[in-house]
Chain A
């Protein structure tokens, strides 16, 4: 009597917490701990010192540039597409088709996506052959599809639809009254975008761009299916260090590289959440 009753409200969150613990926290802990261990199990910082190897730096730079470029281009095109469908009929066929397609394409990666690109614009792809018949050689400058430029193109295939999905709610939150209010107060279309819609959408746009960056930064399967020799991006270097056929088996070093990636993705995710929080306060 009179004692505080134990709240059982948290019970509903148990499955989620268990899921997060098993599939996120546990692997992260294992990787982080492993990054500080030698092959014999003794503690070391040498795995992190090895991150300065030239090929690791090159792969890290490639990963960051690839992710930044596909995030910016994907965000720009995806935002335009999201805006186009948001201004149309909310129940219209176009919107339903685009949103459904984006939902599928945003998850379309790995071997199937790599194969789809090779079959269409690979050196022996259908589009490549058709283009040749019209005198266009898409590989005049070399087989770029197996290079970082190939990855950029292929990544955009899932980056743009992902942007449509994550940015659409923000665009939907823009109320038509705001444009009319700006107009009736003497504003032009430029003023509306400069002072109203732009500032309102900017945090969401930046947040979604960061999400796209993280999405690209952590992608592995598509790159590996397309380019299975060497390692031009960081996830491939991690794979090589874990199961190299020619080099040393270096699980500690692989984990140190993985920790680097985790740190970058965590930073990006925190920034994303902060920006989302700011927008959701305005656009609720």
Chain B
């Protein structure tokens, strides 16, 4: 398949309301040519609405959609030159795989022989050429989504939109197809917006991740930055796991159970606060003094996650802390072990809500 240069996509101050509910509140986002941006957020945060406005499947109440420098805000979906992959069940069931892929070409009045040739070419790109004559019901969920991807790409769109395309698949297929989508996207060089509620998916696939909440972007940045330097407490808690530990802000630092931690925003107001501490910033030790202390507790659970394990430590008084570490290190702390916690001095964010501790 011929490569084509991606185009820039701009969403400018997009507004969308459904009755009294504001789905999008002044959303602005620029996607660079050939870039893959993942919009991540909980249900109802507006990420799918943003994608549908970009696709032209819904109309904005305010703002502009600009694709490749052209304002397409009022252009209908079938004239936008946008390829879209839906969550599931979007293949036309009465057409075999190659006919599905050729549909968009047929709409563009490409001749029968040429559209079959191009459909097979794109099916080959997603590794499904041998399945070209199968109906959707004869394909697995992952294969169906690959055909849907091929169908979206066959029209050589300016922009590729992926609306939670992996959410209906099982974990193993999901991870394989995620990598496949990224490979194809890089190969074709198409500007892509990927919407998902799965943080792992977003962090793994995207050039940049936009975390959405209540209709606006909380943070937009490279995955590593979003994870290691969350801009807001919402991002810190939505992306990855977070311990909420009571502490006190003093002189540009926060003191948590006797440990001084630097702040992401040093000008935080003084006083009681909740420090958001990542589980991987917590380490455990079993040597030295294990008498009662603010950071001494008992392991109550160890969750095996493969290469890493997550250890839950009860510090007493209803406070539990999660620590994530290599599984080999966690093996030394089975449930019931007395341990002493150490908090790495990574800069932490402060949440001001009263709800303390536990959480992840």
Contacts and interface: CB of A to CB of B under 8 A. Distances in A.
Interface stretch (B38-46, B104-112, B248-256, B352-360): B104-112
Most B CB within 10 A of own CB, among A178, A186, A283: A186
Contacts of B151: 181, 185
B103 to A, nearest CB: 6
Contact of B84 (A181, A187, A191): A181
Q: Please classify the interface of chain B as helix (H, G, I), strand (E, B), loop, or mixed, using the class held by over half of its residues.
A: mixed
Nearest to A188: B78
Interface residues of A, number: 21
A265 B151 CA distance: 43
A281 B94 CA distance: 9
A185 B94 contact: no
Given A185-B104, A185-B155, A195-B106, A180 B77 contact: yes
Contacts of B148: 181
A181 B104 CA distance: 9
A282 B95 CA distance: 9
A195 B103 contact: yes
A172 to B, nearest CB: 13
Contacts, number: 76
Contact of B57 (A183, A187, A281): A183
Interface stretch (B85-93, B233-241, B257-265, B316-324): B85-93
Contact of B78 (A184, A199, A200): A184
A180 B93 contact: no
Given A180-B84, A184-B82, A191 B107 contact: yes
B275 interface: no
A195 B78 CA distance: 15
B230 interface: no
A183 B78 contact: yes
B25 to A, nearest CB: 24
A284 interface: yes
B83 interface: yes
Given A185-B107, A187-B107, A281 B137 contact: yes
Contacts of A184: 55-57, 77-78, 80, 82-84, 152, 161
A196 B137 CA distance: 16
A7 interface: no
Contacts of B90: 175, 177-178, 180-181
A186 B107 contact: yes
B153 to A, nearest CB: 11
A114 to B, nearest CB: 42
A183 B108 CA distance: 12
Contacts of A283: 93
Contacts of A175: 89-90
Contacts of B108: 186
Given A180-B57, A186-B104, A200 B94 contact: yes
Contact of A181 (B92, B135, B137): B92
A281 B89 CA distance: 14
Nearest to A177: B90
Contacts of A187: 78, 103, 107
Given A185-B151, A186-B155, A188-B78, A282 B93 contact: yes
Interface in A180-208: 180-188, 191, 195-196, 199-200
Contacts of B86: 177, 180-181
A174 to B, nearest CB: 10
Contacts of A199: 94
A128 B103 CA distance: 54
Interface in B34-89: 55-57, 76-84, 86-87, 89
A190 to B, nearest CB: 11
A170 B34 CA distance: 41
Given A281-B137, A284-B137, A183 B92 contact: no
A228 to B, nearest CB: 48
Interface string B139-171: 000000000100110010000010000000000
7 A-B pairs with the lowest CB-CB distances in the bound complex, closest first: A185-B104, A186-B107, A282-B93, A177-B90, A184-B84, A183-B77, A177-B86
Interface of B: 55-57, 76-84, 86-87, 89-90, 92-94, 103-104, 106-108, 135, 137, 148, 151-152, 155, 161
Given A178-B90, A186-B79, A200-B94, 20 more contacts: A181-B84, A181-B86, A181-B92, A181-B148, A182-B103, A184-B57, A184-B77, A185-B83, A186-B78, A186-B108, A186-B155, A187-B103, A187-B107, A188-B78, A196-B92, A199-B94, A281-B93, A282-B93, A282-B137, A284-B137
Interface of A: 175, 177-178, 180-188, 191, 195-196, 199-200, 281-284
